[in-house]
Structure 1
Amino acid sequence: MNPSTPAGSPAPLSGARFALGTLAVALATFMNVLDSSIANVAIPTISGNLGVSVDEGTWVITLFAAANAVSIPLTGWLTQRVGQVKLFVWAILLFVLSSWLCGMAPNLPVLLAARILQGAVAGPLVPLSQALLLGSFPKQKSSSALALWAMTATVGPIAGPALGGWITDSYSWSWIFYINIPVGLFAAGVTWVVYRDRETPAFKLPLDKVGLFSLIAWVASLQIMLDKGKDLDWFNSPVILALGVVAAISFAFFLIWELTEAKPIVDLRLFTQRNFLGGTIAISVAYAVFFGNLVILPQWIQGFLGYRSVDAGLVTAPLGIFSVILAPVLGKIMPRSDSRILATLAFLGFAGVFFMRSHYTTGVDPFTLVLPTLLQGIPTALFFTPLTAIILSGLPPEKIPAAAGLSNFARIFAGAAGTSLMSTGWNDRTILHHARLVEQANVNNPTFVDAVASLQTALNASPSKALAFFETSLNTQATMLGLNDIFWLSAVIFIVIIPLIWLTKPGKGAGAGAAGAGGH
């Protein structure tokens, strides 16, 4: 049964309508999550074309994610106000429009405004795609429905960098947004034809405006603070200090208001459920690390290994191989497995992959670069679905849409924040390693003097040119060491958050069934 509709909802789809409906919903999900990562490898090109720094270009990713996170909690209210199918179709069409505006953007402010709009209208797509898929499948096949959704949700961020790199190198970065137009129009048209007779009732409901505005205030101020902190020297800047104060006050007000409001925009009382609390924190922290690494890895590959955009994208593409292969297998084994064991295996796998990457060197060969990415597809396949099952298990059907919306909000905002924090951490560790290396580079160190002399001979260059070459090499090495620290810390974080999974209990009740978590 569709968890967003009342008892007596339409029977599951079958035949051609089932195939077309599933394809349309999957394409809409794919288009949405693809856009969360397709710009990753294009950031250096976009930044260069628009005349801004790479750090500023990264806002194209983080502001999309922040806007997306803010709009997700509105899904429940909008669904009841507009109707599930109409809302889903309108969200797709507005996503197409905002994608066109992104491609047409002549400068960074216009592009960022279009990306904020794009992220905002994309909010309902993820939770509604889950609801529509669960309603399309027979109840006993709910695990397969979630596995299919997880496959599209994980392949998007994986295919994004490869596709984005190819488009950027072969055509123009604008086309990474234009490709959404035909896909979106097809998905919207087919969804309307297949699902319009399965529309949910619409009601006039009050909107928690105070809760919404306070949510926007703390998310926006915190995200801008994280994005600008590195450039403005953090809390030595009055701007960052002011943003931090606004974020803290508005977040505190948001918590108090939502916990006392009769019909809150975000049902924070869900965090009193042990499974929801442990599962949401685990998936949010894990996604922050996962997505943050997915952003900074292509930047390093292009900026310091000299790979083209398309080649940097291809390095991340093998992540999708095991994800796609294992997704249907996971749908079959989940009903007979403990989701906590599967999620633990995923976290151990991620830790192993990032530990492998922490041993990269500036002379890393393509095979060593790609192998961890290929292996990362295994824990990626085990990542979303078991944790989603844990989060929703034990909840009554009427709570599932709100729970799915809130957990997706936490996950996506964590991804945006994680990207900013990882970029800052990488920069700080690079500066630290550069300072340590420079300590040894002085005329009183005979090793350094001999190295410069050898460079002069090898390059047939003047002392100043030899020193310049040495400085470039030193910067590259410091950057590599800083990135190794980030990889190592990522591995540790995945180990540390495993106990969160085991604070939860085996799922029972309607929520578990809806989430495909039955059989624990």
Structure 2
Amino acid sequence: MSTAPAAPSAPPPLKGGQLVLATIAVALATFMNVLDSSIANVAIPTISGNLGVSVDEGTWVVTVFAAANAVSIPLTGWLTQRIGQIKLFVGAILLFVISSWLCGLAPTLPVLLAARVLQGAVAGPLIPLSQAILLGSYPKEKASMALSLWAMTAVVGPIAGPALGGWITDSYSWSWIFYINIPVGLFAASVTWFIYRKRESATRKAPIDTVGLALLIAWVASLQIMLDKGRDLDWFSSPLIVWLGIIALIAFALFVVWELTDANPVVDLRLFAGRNFFGGTVAISVAYGVFFGNLVLLPQWMQQYLNYRSVDAGLVTAPLGIFAVILAPVMGRVLPRTDARVVATMAFIGFAIVFFMRSNYVIEIDTWHLVLPTLLQGIPMALFFVPLTSIILSGLAPSKIPAAAGLSNFARVFCGAVGTSLAGNAWTDRIALHHERLTEQANANNPAFMQSLQASQSALNVSEAQARGLFDFTVNTQAAMMGLNDIFFASAVIFILIIPLIWITKRAKGGGGGAAAGAH
């Protein structure tokens, strides 16, 4: 992308109906990608049951996609130089369609995971290129609006995913959560090619950092497997987990050294020397990891402990999109006249309030009190992506923006995968802790417990074994609720603690729109 024609000879912005149709096509490709990062969330119990595996193993369907996606994102710049921006974008969409078809056909979990790895890998270029293509389609003075439209699709995908996934899983089959990508992808690819085929970027045979790429894959894969399997294998008491940890640590250290010294690094880590890039990227990555980890846990809890159907669990999360969609275009107009740091801070405070509200959930909670925090969460979601993206890209030379967009997206998506694993592990640990505390007095030597058990037998006209079974069920449900509340409270605290990262950055001129526009 660094060899693309200079700005004066770049294709002019699109106009009228062509711009509208192009925006819809590019947005659909983005939507399809981010939708698949969350659409399987509510289907995990169903997929696990149908394929004969545990829910913990089923969660890999989400995490392997995110990990593969994160690894492939940094290759976008190199692939664009070799293939061309439009050919790469359209090709990635078509490969995504094929891999989605393979996911739907998968008869076993290993086959499904392999297809999800392929799907995540080919999806890598879609997010960075969709940003660049949209920014190149709009006039420079409307760069913030282009970013807002992109953010709207990036926000709505994870929101619509659980609702759509739940409805499809309950009404048809979990395979159709992947099959629906086929018509959407074919439409997006054909329209994009029709409009943009004559606006292709220049290409050249750029060198590839094979050592850096191999080290990247090694540490990301080792760390992700360690996090996903650690709990099942009792963490570092398992030789496999120990070796995975060692490989991840050594590969990461070598990766950092190599990328900082190589002439053509696959990931330009020198970008972290900039205050705005460092603060903005770390803030958006940690925040997304916390947000996405909770987005996976919430529908699982509703289905496993509140007996919600997949579709109902998805519908509870759907209101997240209402304010997010309404306010996203507004941000495009407001941000150029506002300090992006103030807006991002408001978003983080909003997230903290929402998670604190959720930390007070009880077993008897009704649907409205589940929906209300989700509805309100749409407000900070709308204030989240665009300001932080503006901060990350501000002050960078136009030639650096593609690499910066790729690296920041890599960090964000990878933290989403790590956040999912950490949230699941933390919830399981907190459930065990609360279960132990709740049952430490539940034994035959405690007269109060035995008296309560006898009262339950009499009231319900059941045997002692049945009464004990009911007690265990109640304790498990309560422990899960208390554990989830702990996760929610910790999430609220994290959002407050990362606010200073926003304020180590410099104010983005014009809300960052000018910098962003450099992606032309």
Q: Same fold (TM over 0.5)?
A: yes
Partner of 1:109: 110
Deviates more, 1:209-218 or 1:8-17: 8-17
State whether structure 2 residue 72 is matched by structure 1 residue 71: yes
Secondary structure of the structure 2 residue equivalent to 1:440? coil
Secondary structure of the structure 2 residue equivalent to 1:101? helix
Secondary structure of the structure 2 residue equivalent to 1:515? helix
1:5-27 superposed Cα distances (whole Å, 9 cap, x missing partner): 63121110012211111110000
Deviates more, 1:490-499 or 1:7-16: 7-16
Partner of 1:327: 328
What does 1:356-435 align with in structure 2 at a 5 Å threshold? 356-435=357-436
State whether structure 2 residue 303 is matched by structure 1 residue 284: no
Displacement of 1:410 after TM fit?
A: 0.2
Does structure 2 retain, via aligned residues, the 8 Å contact 1:134–1:514? no
State whether structure 2 residue 275 is matched by structure 1 residue 274: yes
Partner of 2:516: 515
What does 1:410-489 align with in structure 2 at a 5 Å threshold? 410-489=411-490
Number of aligned positions between the proteins: 516
CA RMSD of aligned residues (A): 1.4
Deviates more, 1:449-458 or 1:126-135: 449-458
> What is the TM-score with the length of structure 2 in the denominator?
0.98
Does structure 2 retain, via aligned residues, the 8 Å contact 1:3–1:401? no
Partner of 2:199: 198
Name the amino acid aligned to 1:499: P
What does 1:5-16 align with in structure 2 at a 5 Å threshold? 6-7=6-7, 8-16=9-17
What does 1:131-146 align with in structure 2 at a 5 Å threshold? 131-146=132-147
Name the amino acid aligned to 1:314: L
Task: Please list every run of 5 or more consecutive structure 1 residues that lacks an aligned counterpart in the other structure.
Answer: none
Displacement of 1:512 after TM fit?
A: 5.0
Name the amino acid aligned to 2:240: V
Name the amino acid aligned to 2:31: F
Name the amino acid aligned to 1:374: L
1:322-380 superposed Cα distances (whole Å, 9 cap, x missing partner): 00000111111000000000000000000000000000011111111110000000000
Displacement of 1:516 after TM fit?
A: 6.7
1:74–1:509 Cα change, 3 Å: farther
1:372-411 superposed Cα distances (whole Å, 9 cap, x missing partner): 0000000000010000000011000000000000000000
Does structure 1 retain, via aligned residues, the 8 Å contact 2:337–2:511? no
Displacement of 1:450 after TM fit?
A: 2.5
How far apart in 2 are the matches of 1:444 and 1:515? Answer: 69
Partner of 1:52: 53
Name the amino acid aligned to 1:437: L
Secondary structure of the structure 2 residue equivalent to 1:442? coil
1:63–1:458 Cα change, 3 Å: same
Partner of 1:95: 96
Does structure 2 retain, via aligned residues, the 8 Å contact 1:4–1:400? no
Partner of 2:24: 23
Partner of 1:242: 243
What does 1:287-326 align with in structure 2 at a 5 Å threshold? 287-326=288-327
Deviates more, 1:351-360 or 1:458-467: 458-467
Displacement of 1:182 after TM fit?
A: 0.3
Does structure 2 retain, via aligned residues, the 8 Å contact 1:316–1:370? yes
Displacement of 1:510 after TM fit?
A: 12
Secondary structure of the structure 1 residue equivalent to 2:198? helix
Does structure 2 retain, via aligned residues, the 8 Å contact 1:393–1:509? no
Deviates more, 1:54-63 or 1:12-21: 12-21
How far apart in 2 are the matches of 1:108 and 1:203? Answer: 40
Secondary structure of the structure 1 residue equivalent to 2:12? coil
Displacement of 1:515 after TM fit?
A: 2.5
Displacement of 1:514 after TM fit?
A: 3.4
Name the amino acid aligned to 1:166: W
Name the amino acid aligned to 1:346: A
> What is the TM-score with the length of structure 1 in the denominator?
0.98
Name the amino acid aligned to 1:281: V
1:509–1:335 Cα change, 3 Å: closer
Displacement of 1:455 after TM fit?
A: 1.1
How far apart in 1 are the matches of 2:285 and 2:456? Answer: 48
1:276-322 superposed Cα distances (whole Å, 9 cap, x missing partner): 00000000000000000000100000000000000000000000000
How far apart in 2 are the matches of 1:283 and 1:131? Answer: 19
Partner of 1:149: 150
Does structure 2 retain, via aligned residues, the 8 Å contact 1:351–1:490? yes
How far apart in 2 are the matches of 1:183 and 1:155? Answer: 16
How far apart in 2 are the matches of 1:3 and 1:377? Answer: 40
Name the amino acid aligned to 2:127: V
Does structure 2 retain, via aligned residues, the 8 Å contact 1:30–1:155? yes
Displacement of 1:458 after TM fit?
A: 2.0
Query: Percent same amino acid at aligned positions?
Result: 73
Secondary structure of the structure 1 residue equivalent to 2:190? helix
Does structure 2 retain, via aligned residues, the 8 Å contact 1:335–1:516? no
1:73–1:510 Cα change, 3 Å: farther
Does structure 2 retain, via aligned residues, the 8 Å contact 1:4–1:398? no
How far apart in 2 are the matches of 1:116 and 1:85? Answer: 23
How far apart in 2 are the matches of 1:191 and 1:55? Answer: 39
Does structure 2 retain, via aligned residues, the 8 Å contact 1:47–1:53? yes
Name the amino acid aligned to 1:278: G
Partner of 1:121: 122
How far apart in 2 are the matches of 1:389 and 1:446? Answer: 64
Displacement of 1:425 after TM fit?
A: 0.2
Displacement of 1:161 after TM fit?
A: 0.1
Displacement of 1:143 after TM fit?
A: 0.7
Displacement of 1:74 after TM fit?
A: 0.1
Name the amino acid aligned to 2:200: E
Secondary structure of the structure 2 residue equivalent to 1:39? coil
1:211–1:405 Cα change, 3 Å: same
How far apart in 2 are the matches of 1:205 and 1:289? Answer: 36
Task: Please list every run of 5 or more consecutive structure 2 residues that lacks an aligned counterpart in the other structure.
Answer: none
Name the amino acid aligned to 1:276: F
Displacement of 1:434 after TM fit?
A: 0.5
Secondary structure of the structure 1 residue equivalent to 2:440? helix
What does 1:347-362 align with in structure 2 at a 5 Å threshold? 347-362=348-363
1:209–1:23 Cα change, 3 Å: same
Name the amino acid aligned to 1:365: D
Displacement of 1:131 after TM fit?
A: 0.4
How far apart in 2 are the matches of 1:6 and 1:231? Answer: 54
Name the amino acid aligned to 1:6: A
Displacement of 1:440 after TM fit?
A: 2.0
Name the amino acid aligned to 2:229: K
